[in-house]
Amino acid sequence: MRIVIQRVDRVSLAADGEPYDQMGPGILAMVGIQSGDGNEKTFNYMLDKLVNLRIFEDENGKMNRSILDMGYGLFLVSNFTLYGDCRHGRRPSYSSGAPVQEAAQIYEDFLAYARAHAGADVHSGLFQADMQIDTHLSGPVTLLLDSDKNF
Q: What is the pLDDT of residues 109-144, one digit of tens each?
A: 999 999 999 999 999 999 999 999 999 999 999 999
Q: What is the pLDDT of residues 35-93, one digit of tens each?
A: 999 999 999 999 999 999 999 999 999 999 999 999 999 999 999 999 999 999 999 99
Q: Among 3.20.20.70, 3.90.1150.10, 3.50.80.10, 3.40.630.30, name the CATH number for the domain at 2-146.
A: 3.50.80.10
- The Cα–Cα gap between 22 and 109 comes to 21
| pLDDT at residue 151 tops 90 | no
Share of the chain above pLDDT 90, in %: 99
pTM of the entire predicted model: 0.95
Q: Where in the chain are the domains?
A: 2-146
The DSSP result for 65-121, as a single string, is E-HHHHT-EEEEEE-GGGG-B-SSSSS-B-TTSPPHHHHHHHHHHHHHHHHHHSSS-
